[in-house]
Structure 1
Amino acid sequence: MLKKLENMSKVQLIYFFIIAFTALGLGLSNDVIANYFKDAYQITAYERGLIEFPRELPGVLVIFIVASLSIFSDVRIAMGAQLLSIIGIGALGFITPPFAIMLIFIFINSVGMHMFMPLQDSIGMSLIKNEGIGKKMGQYKGVSTVFTMLAGILVFIGFRIGFFSFKSNIKWIFIIAAGILVVVFILFFILEKQIGKSIKSNKKVNFVFRKEYRYYYTLVVMWGVQKQIMIVYGPWVLIDILNKRADTLAILTIIGSFVGVFFIPAVGRWVDRFGIKKLLYADALSFIVVYLVYGLLSAGFSTGTLDTIGIPLFLAYMIFIIDRMSTQMGMIRTIYLRSIAVKSSDITPTLSLGLSLDHIVSIICAYLGGVVWSLWGPQYIFFLASALSIVNLYVASKVREDKLTRCI
């Protein structure tokens, strides 16, 4: 490990720390936000879907926000994104405002998070040489996973000993998360001093709809459906139906992250070894199986035909963990885009537009998911996601392996 650190450039080392602390901050804020909604505001499944509008709207607007800041470097914009996240989550740490005011702070925090999403990948790739991009991106995700696991450990300990609570006046977990994001801001400042303002991608709102990118956009739209259904309503099965608290979800996060420490870097190596086409197939199949099984379990839990203890509960935990690993395979989409990019300047605006498309779908699915849950039951949300994931298989079949091999 020490030898690897010695061989790593200083700017890449700084960026690894940025990735690490960002994951830690998100693990103490965004990853526990569903429990915050339940404990502090006692919301229903339908209200849970409605909350996703202010949380996901910044993802739609991010392409315009980033474009309006085109005079600044990517690093400067990333610094601004951290400040917004700090304000949004920090405020919720000090007060428990009325529901409507809470949504405003959630929106501010979400704007910061979504501004950073496309920049995180574009900045990271700009620091990588052409050789072994899959391996390096896998390392980025691996570091992120390690610190997500660390966040899970802190969440578990904090809630178990009573230091963290969403029912108290002060939400220390959010205050600590805001403090960690301050560290990320400082690290970006240091990174800028090391590289100057050289990282400055094309941020014009040019809506890059090249035919070469049609399958990438299909993948991100499908991800919008899958993400919203599983990331929002997957935990809600555990929280609302099975009455599991933040410490239980933290344990599952720890286990998933521990496995991911080895799994995610391996995915990066597999991209380099087997190619993107085969990994896209694997990604699609994993989503189909995960959603189908989770739907069956949800049906059993909600109707009372399955026990909420023992093997059924263990299976629900296992599917939850596997899903968390599957969502980390999203880096395959980013590498796929880089491999087919007509111009390097297309990458950031295409990532931003993809993020916007993803979130438009997410907002629609969040609302419809709440309606489906309330009227017919949670299982139908997951069955729908499983069926729609067949589209991912179709895209994988259309990817040209020879084209990708030349571009990576």
Structure 2
Amino acid sequence: MTSPSQPTHTTWRNPKTLLTLLAIILPISFASWQALLNNFAIEKAAFTGAEIGLLQSVREIPGFLAFTAVFILLFMREQKFMILALLMLTLGVAITGFYPSVSGLLCTTLLMSTGFHYFETLKQSLSLQWLSKEEAPETLGTMISVGALASLITYGVLWVLLEQLSLDYQWVYLIAGATALIIVLFIWLAFPTFESKTIQNKKLILRKRYWLYYALVFMSGARRQIFVVFAGFLMVEKFGYSAADITLLFLINYAFNWLFAKRIGRIIGKIGERKALLFEYTGLILVFVSYALVESAEIAAGLYVIDHLFFALALAIKTYFQKIADPADIASTAGVSFTISHIAAVFIPVSFGLLWLVSPASVFYAGAAMASLSLLLAFNIPNHPTEGNEVRRALF
């Protein structure tokens, strides 16, 4: 076995290379699924806002159950568990296009989402274990940048498949899922198992001193649903964007991430998590209010790009936790935090889907209110968070 601090048999078989490959898998698999979903659901399965809300709520159930990862880790190593999760994710994406119905989409989404949420939990845990506190902000930003470049290539290919070759959705989904699966198999066969520097707690842990981190994660999960579920749906339903149009919009999004994500990570390392999150939440308040009022398809597209770019700043929540956490708590808390972030995510899509039928603008005003609460929480982050200096003003 190999420790992150020890050399591997070959220079490229190391944790950072593995993290880079992991950053490529999601753009090919989950991001492809997400980019095509609204058009596929509306055109092939006749979804309305109510059905899309139900689907997204089902998608978030595995995220709510992410805390169960700590129990699976009792008999399976994190790295091996991550490979299993990726197999579920890529298979779920590959078969999505073959089941164009409400029940079919619910089943394939549940399979895909179970793999996705376990993978995201484990990737966050392993990243914070393998990276030092000093290198984490910039390296995590670099991972976002790598993922953005992979997304640019992926969405370019999607646009060609949809617009130029006019392939049916089932074949596009199959190509995306199968390509990601090949990368997963390569990772499984090529990399050794890397050991953590600190033995991780194999039980559920909730600590009072982490309360601000839990609150930020909860609000981030709730607020993110407005963007993930309804911002894209707005583009298709209100402004008539085609699948190719949405793909081009994603291309623009990831072009910005590719150019700026590493710099954003470096900036967070310099100015600190407090200032970074205050800037993000202020910007998101303005974006959500603008969503509620927008009547121009071009302006809506601009808001969508700005919205996506702001989310790159959310890695400040992860680095804030890394600075205040007991290193042995990282794996357990990764699962707990994903569950916390999905408490609201389980009911927001379906309930807001019903609200959407009455007033789409109200959905985005609610998002602005969530961002406002996040802003108030961010004011309580110290300028230099550490163990023992987790908050400016304690509530417990």
Tell whether the structures are fold-level matches, with TM greater than 0.5.
yes
Give the aligned partner of residue 273 of structure 1: 270
Give the aligned partner of residue 349 of structure 2: 366
- Segments of structure 1 that go 5 or more residues without pairing to the other structure are 1-7, 298-305, 307-311
**SS of equivalent to 2:277:** helix
Q: For 2:75 and 2:198, locate their aligned partners in 1 and report how far apart those are by CA, in whole Å.
A: 9
- What does residue range 123-142 of structure 1 map to in structure 2 within 5 Å? 123-142=126-145
* Kept after mapping to 2: 8 A contact 1:14/1:191: no
Q: 1:346 to 1:144 in 2, by over 3 A?
A: same
* Kept after mapping to 1: 8 A contact 2:33/2:93: yes
Give the aligned partner of residue 52 of structure 2: 48
1:318 and 2:296 matched: no
1:210 and 2:212 matched: no
Q: 1:38 to 1:200 in 2, by over 3 A?
A: farther
Q: 1:189 to 1:110 in 2, by over 3 A?
A: same
**SS of equivalent to 1:403:** coil
1:340 and 2:324 matched: yes
CA RMSD of aligned residues (A): 2.3
Give the aligned partner of residue 393 of structure 1: 375
Give the aligned partner of residue 6 of structure 2: none
Q: 1:118 to 1:191 in 2, by over 3 A?
A: farther
* Kept after mapping to 1: 8 A contact 2:201/2:329: no
Per-residue deviation at 1:147? Answer: 0.9
Q: 2:110 aligns with which of 100, 107, 111?
A: 107
Aligned length: 380
Q: For 2:42 and 2:86, locate their aligned partners in 1 and report how far apart those are by CA, in whole Å.
A: 26
Q: Deviations over 1:173-197 (max 9, x none)?
A: 211122122223224314642x455
Q: 1:190 to 1:131 in 2, by over 3 A?
A: farther
* Kept after mapping to 1: 8 A contact 2:133/2:323: no
Q: For 2:306 and 2:278, locate their aligned partners in 1 and report how far apart those are by CA, in whole Å.
A: 16
Give the aligned partner of residue 333 of structure 2: 350
Percent identity for Structure 1 against Structure 2: 20
Q: 1:259 aligns with which of 256, 260, 269?
A: 256
Q: 1:78 aligns with which of 78, 82, 100?
A: 82
Q: For 2:268 and 2:175, locate their aligned partners in 1 and report how far apart those are by CA, in whole Å.
A: 36
- What does residue range 38-187 of structure 1 map to in structure 2 within 5 Å? 38-93=42-97, 95-96=98-99, 98-166=101-169, 171-187=170-186
Q: 1:183 to 1:127 in 2, by over 3 A?
A: farther
Q: For 1:133 and 1:405, locate their aligned partners in 2 and report how far apart those are by CA, in whole Å.
A: 17
1:242 and 2:239 matched: yes
Q: For 1:144 and 1:138, locate their aligned partners in 2 and report how far apart those are by CA, in whole Å.
A: 10
In the TM superposition, structure 1's runs of 4+ consecutive aligned residues that sit over 6 Å from their partners are: 405-408
Q: 1:228 aligns with which of 225, 228, 231?
A: 225
Normalization by structure 2: what TM-score? Answer: 0.89
Q: 2:30 aligns with which of 26, 44, 50?
A: 26
Q: Deviations over 1:351-399 (max 9, x none)?
A: 2112112212012111221121112x10011011102211111112111
**SS of equivalent to 2:74:** coil
Per-residue deviation at 1:127? Answer: 2.8
Q: For 1:317 and 1:235, locate their aligned partners in 2 and report how far apart those are by CA, in whole Å.
A: 10
Q: For 1:358 and 1:138, locate their aligned partners in 2 and report how far apart those are by CA, in whole Å.
A: 21
Q: For 1:9 and 1:399, locate their aligned partners in 2 and report how far apart those are by CA, in whole Å.
A: 37
Give the aligned partner of residue 4 of structure 1: none
Q: For 1:325 and 1:404, locate their aligned partners in 2 and report how far apart those are by CA, in whole Å.
A: 27
Give the aligned partner of residue 330 of structure 1: 314
Per-residue deviation at 1:28? Answer: 2.0
Q: 1:199 to 1:45 in 2, by over 3 A?
A: farther
- Segments of structure 2 that go 5 or more residues without pairing to the other structure are 1-10, 391-396
* Kept after mapping to 2: 8 A contact 1:59/1:355: yes
Q: For 1:199 and 1:81, locate their aligned partners in 2 and report how far apart those are by CA, in whole Å.
A: 23
**SS of equivalent to 1:335:** helix
Q: Which moved more, 1:10-19 or 1:285-294?
A: 10-19
Q: For 2:365 and 2:313, locate their aligned partners in 1 and report how far apart those are by CA, in whole Å.
A: 21
Per-residue deviation at 1:31? Answer: 3.0
Q: 1:273 to 1:98 in 2, by over 3 A?
A: closer
Q: For 2:133 and 2:227, locate their aligned partners in 1 and report how far apart those are by CA, in whole Å.
A: 34
Give the aligned partner of residue 280 of structure 2: 283
The one-letter code of the counterpart of 2:355 is V
**SS of equivalent to 2:364:** helix
Q: 1:172 to 1:203 in 2, by over 3 A?
A: farther
**SS of equivalent to 2:47:** coil
Q: For 1:36 and 1:173, locate their aligned partners in 2 and report how far apart those are by CA, in whole Å.
A: 11
Q: 1:37 to 1:209 in 2, by over 3 A?
A: same
Q: For 1:9 and 1:48, locate their aligned partners in 2 and report how far apart those are by CA, in whole Å.
A: 42
Q: Deviations over 1:128-150 (max 9, x none)?
A: 23432211111111101111122
Q: For 1:115 and 1:294, locate their aligned partners in 2 and report how far apart those are by CA, in whole Å.
A: 31
Q: For 2:215 and 2:244, locate their aligned partners in 1 and report how far apart those are by CA, in whole Å.
A: 36
Q: For 1:112 and 1:65, locate their aligned partners in 2 and report how far apart those are by CA, in whole Å.
A: 11
The one-letter code of the counterpart of 1:87 is L
Q: 1:407 to 1:77 in 2, by over 3 A?
A: farther
Q: For 2:285 and 2:71, locate their aligned partners in 1 and report how far apart those are by CA, in whole Å.
A: 36
Q: For 1:97 and 1:234, locate their aligned partners in 2 and report how far apart those are by CA, in whole Å.
A: 22
Q: Deviations over 1:20-51 (max 9, x none)?
A: 23322223223322222112101001111111
Q: Deviations over 1:245-280 (max 9, x none)?
A: 111111111111111112211111111111111001
